[in-house]
Amino acid sequence: MSIVIDRKRCTGCGKCVLVCPGGLMKQEKDGTAVMKYPKDCWGCASCIKECKFGAIALYLGTELGGRGGKMTVSEKGSFLIWRVKKTDGTIEEIAVDKRESNQY
Amino acid sequence: MQIDITKVLNTDILIIGGGAAGCYAALTIRERSGYSVIIAEKANIKRSGCLAAGVNALNAYIVEGNTPQDYVEYAKKDADGIVREDLLFTMSERLNQVAERLEELGLVFLKDEGGRYVARGSRNIKINGENIKPLLADAVKKLEAVTVLNRVNITDYIVENNEIIGAIGFSIEDSSAYEIRAKKVLCATGGAAGLYRPNNPGFSRHKMWYPPFNTGAGYAMGMKCGAEMTTFEMRFIALRCKDTIAPTGTLAQGVGAKQVNEKGEVYETKYGLTTSERVYGTVMENLEGRGPCYLKTEGISKKEEESLKKAYLNMAPSQTLKWMESGKGASEQNVEIEGTEPYIVGGHTASGYWVDTNRQTTIHGLYAAGDVAGGCPQKYVTGAMAEAEIAAEHMIEALKRNDTHNTQFDKKADRSGKQDTASDRMRDQVKEYNRFLGNTETIYSIEELEEAMQKVMDCYAGGITSHYKYNERQLGIAREKIKQLMLLSDNVAAGDMHELMFVYELKERLLVCLAVIAHLEGRKETRWHSFAENTDYPQKSQEWMKYVNSRYENGTLKIFYRDLVGKEGQYEHCN
């Protein structure tokens, strides 16, 4: 389980580094975030929610049957927009209203 | 790298661990008293602990028509009698007020037209729990006289004459050590993951049920000071979605999915429906050649499928990612399930500190709440918070009575004229930290030792490979090998402060492993399939209707037994 960081989108705000429940990330000298301990990632997605620039994506390791899809999330009003970009370039989105409870 | 700065802090109450229980305790203390609080958290309270990714329901709630006693009976049945009824009852009485408090903090609940919470089954209510931890953390940040020390890893208590007077640790960020002196301490560090070889290998080793960052610190710190522990033999093994290790309750209770084998036969009724029996049935079906096992979701509606995707995004987004990537949702393919490796927790099963009804441990002034506190299974999120509230109330009362036997630090401070001088105990501890930081001659890495420990536990103490079974001969081998690894762990090297934390996490886990082995040996029966499957004693027996407790003394685990505690009256520590 781990994340991939798009260095071009990362602004060096450092929020992901602060929030990671394992303290697994760090900032390089130029401020860019890097995953220091990729094998220790729990896959909780805290960092991708924290990133306002869509610079961090969650993906499934091959041991978990991962197919290379990258998941990001952004906020729009009361919605969390979860987006998966597959390797063939197709994009699928699911919007979850934060004001709505789970049905299950 | 060496630690050359020691910071000495003073507070009324120290909370170790800023997860659900720790944050809730801070809220309670400040709402009901003026006492100062320090929360020491090794990550950042915004997302630390079990609830990092969120939670999709509150699983401990007394729905209309039920009573707290019903909840006690449910938990007692699931644990086949080995519970503390006093703890379960006092927790159950508070579950609903905790839920209401969470709503006040901003948590979203599903409600019916009459404004009542909508139940999922008889004990659960539906919420949107994606942001539960940020909500708690925000509430804590607004409190006065509460200092949150993020990225500070506590490794040891300071105990004198069996009374706690503080704790010691270090900052992962700025290479300084901390001595925090407190009149009362609440341990809320969670349980222990990573003791056994996990489901997933290599790169995905941490895709597991429980936070891999919960390493049994609270158990280990208590053990090192001689605190009494209970029921470590009731291990928790979760039945999860294969690979992603995402929850299965949402499928079973949400859309009524049954456990089926590869022939499509519903097998769950054959083995029983307790938590351990659901795991055991899955193990047996696989062993007898009828695997893989699934939750039967094929045929659910597209609407249900979409709702499931959303529900998982609020607690385990990797499962939704898996569905989306594969192009096939739950309505088109059953969800394969598997048992995880065993964990030691007090929130699902009952492992942890032996506490009195007020949640005080056998060390005076030290309290425990949440996964680190034993005897009170099925407490889940709301129960962990209820315990934190009980502990907080009692700490406040005790402080008001000025109930501390020990004023050692005050006396020392008076003599030196300073309150900010590090104690001798602290100076010794910093020497130990610096020894690991300065070590350049070592063969074995921390990671190697961790993997060796997990292999030992997997093979000889009932891990996945041995289908959760063990016998006394195997446990003896496990003990010998874990002790050997403990010796090697004294000589590892830490290149920076983060690695120093890894050193202590390894040492914590090894000590907890030793306790698990001793407890598994201590219960000479099989009361819970899979959770404690002792092949020397495959039956359960009435004579084992008692607690297996332990104390770590002079490097050895002493096992002893206690009679069951009923719900009547207050249980107090006596010997």
Instruction: For A104, name the nearest residue in chain B, comparing CA atoms only.
Output: B254
**Any domain includes A102:** no
Q: A46 touching B, CB under 8 A?
A: yes
Cα end-to-end distance, chain A, whole Å: 26
CA dihedral A17, A18, A22, A26 (to 10 degrees): 30
Could you tell me the sign of the dihedral formed by the alpha carbons of B224, B228, B231, B233, in that order? positive
Please state, in angstroms and rounded to a whole number, the distance separating the CA atoms of residues B30 and B388. 13
Mean pLDDT, to the nearest integer, of B537-563? 97
Q: How far is CA B154 from CA B14, B305, B532, in A?
A: 11, 44, 31
- Picking from B43-47, B145-149, B400-404, B497-501, which range would have the lowest pLDDT averaged per residue? B400-404
Q: Residue B405's pLDDT is what?
A: 56
Supply the pLDDT for residue B402: 84
pLDDT over 90 (residue B120): no
Instruction: Read off the DSSP letter of residue B266.
Output: B
- Taking one residue from A and the other from B, the number of pairs with CB-CB distance under 8 angstroms is 172
Q: Which of residues 64-103 of B touch A (CB under 8 A)?
A: none
Q: How confident is the model at residue B415 (pLDDT cuts 50, 70, 90)?
A: very low
User: For B315-361, what is each residue's pLDDT tens digit?
Assistant: 999 999 999 999 999 999 999 999 999 999 999 999 999 999 999 99
Q: What mean pLDDT comes out for the span B531-559?
A: 97
Is A36 among the domain residues? yes
The answer to whether position A103 is within a domain reads: no
Whether residue B250 and residue A86 make contact (CB cut-off 8 A), yes or no, is no
* Surface of A (5-34) touching B: CB under 8 A: 18-23
pLDDT-derived band of residue B457, with 50, 70 and 90 as boundaries? very high
> How many domains does one find in chain A?
1
Contact between B52 and A23 using a beta-carbon 8 Å cutoff: no
Q: Is residue A55 part of a domain?
A: yes
Distance of alpha carbon B369 from alpha carbon B15, whole angstroms? 10
Over residues B134-193, the pLDDT tens digits come to 999 999 999 999 999 999 999 999 999 999 999 999 999 998 999 999 999 999 999 999
Single-letter code of the amino acid located at B140: V
- Which chain A residues are within 8 Å of B313, Cβ to Cβ? 80, 82, 94, 96
Is A88 a member of any domain?
yes
Q: Which domain holds residue A37?
A: 2-97
B56 and chain A: CB distance < 8 Å anywhere? yes
Quote the pLDDT of residue B414. Answer: 42
Q: Residue range A1-24: average pLDDT?
A: 94
Q: Does residue B419 have a pLDDT over 90?
A: no
CATH of B5-190+345-413, one of 3.50.50.60, 3.90.1150.10, 3.60.21.10, 3.20.20.80: 3.50.50.60
Percent of chain A with pLDDT over 90: 95
B172, B203, B311: residue with CB nearest A104: B311
Q: Are A69 and B172 inside 8 Å of each other by CB?
A: no
**Residue boundaries of the structural domains of chain B:** 5-190+345-413, 239-339, 439-563
Lowest mean pLDDT among A1-10, B63-72, B481-490, B505-514: A1-10
In angstroms, the Cα distances linking B23 to A99, B142, B397 are 23, 12, 19
Q: What's the predicted TM-score (pTM) here? A: 0.96
**B361 with B222: CB under 8 angstroms?**
yes
Q: Do B321 and A71 touch (CB under 8 A)?
A: yes
Q: What is the pLDDT of residue B569?
A: 82
Say if the Cβ atoms of A102 and B310 lie within 8 Å: yes
Instruction: Name chain A contacts of B41, Cβ cutoff 8 Å.
Output: none
pLDDT at B444: 96
Instruction: Name the residue type at position A48.
Output: I
DSSP string, B196-223: S--SS-GGGTT--SS-TT-BSHHHHHHH
The percent of residues above 70 in pLDDT, for chain B, comes to 97
Residues B371, B267: Cα–Cα separation, whole Å = 31
- The CATH number that applies at residue A76 is 3.30.70.20
Residue of A19, A71, A82, A103 to mutate when probing chain B, most B C-beta within 10 A: A103
**Looking at the predicted structure, is the pLDDT value of residue B411 above 90?**
no
Note the pLDDT of residue B418.
55
Residue B178 touches partner A, C-beta closer than 8 Å: no
Q: Which CATH number fits domain B239-339: 3.30.70.20, 3.40.640.10, 3.90.700.10, 3.40.50.300?
A: 3.90.700.10
The verdict on a CB contact (< 8 Å) between B47 and A44 is yes
Quick one: average pLDDT of B38-47?
Answer: 98
Instruction: Indicate if the pLDDT at residue B122 is higher than 90.
Output: no
Q: Which two tokens stand for residue B222?
A: 């208590």
Is residue B271 pLDDT above 70, yes or no? Answer: yes
CA nearest B453: which of B487, B436, B478, B490?
Answer: B478
A40 in B contact zone (CB under 8 Å)? yes
Q: Give per-residue pLDDT as tens, A24-52.
A: 999 999 999 999 999 999 999 999 999 99
**Which has the minimum average pLDDT: B26-40, B391-405, B540-554?**
B391-405
How confident is the model over B254-270, as a mean pLDDT? 94
Report the amino acid identity of residue B395.
M
Q: What is the pLDDT of residue B187?
A: 98
DSSP-based three-state secondary structure for B318: helix
Q: Which chain B residues touch A64 with a CB distance below 8 Å?
A: 200, 204, 207, 243-244, 318, 322
- The arithmetic mean of pLDDT across residues B46-56, rounded, is 95
Mean pLDDT score across all residues of chain B: 95
Compare all CA atoms of chain B with the CA of A45 and give the residue at the minimum distance: B53
Q: What share of chain B in percent tops pLDDT 90? A: 92
In CATH, the number for domain B439-563 is 1.20.58.100
